[in-house]
Amino acid sequence: MPDDQPLTSHVSLRVPSDVIEAFDRIAVALERPRSWVMVRALRQYLEEGEGKEIEEDTESLAELDRDEIVSSEELQQRLRKIVAKPERVRAQRR
């Protein structure tokens, strides 16, 4: 397999007919294969939608389980440093 070809896996699942019909209409409009449209939809779910939120929540819970927490005082100190840096840069430009 050439290096520029991404690895793929075959997946089989049952999908309601109306969903497949919607994917087919979009595929025809875009002149793309149905699988291309479906992969884009799945990527959007994982990168921008509910899937991303679930992954972030899962990681946050894992951090709590590992006692990787920050006190509110520490958080406020970190935020003050973040805010102060651009303020110092602006002051130097004047």
pLDDT tens-digit series, residues 57-85: 999 889 888 888 888 898 899 899 888 88
Q: Which band of pLDDT confidence, cut at 50, 70 and 90, is reported for residue 2?
A: low
Contacts of 37 (CB under 8 A, 6+ apart): 23, 26, 27, 30
Query: What tens digit of pLDDT does each residue of 36-52 get?
Result: 999 999 999 999 989 98
| E strands in the chain | none
Whether pLDDT at 88 is above 80: no
The answer to whether residues 29 and 23 touch, using CB atoms and an 8 Å cutoff, is no
The predicted model gives 23-35 an average pLDDT of 97
As given in the structure block, the two tokens for residue 52 are 């991303």
Taking only Cα atoms into account, the Rg of the chain, rounded to an integer number of angstroms, comes to 23
- Quick one: pLDDT at residue 92? 74
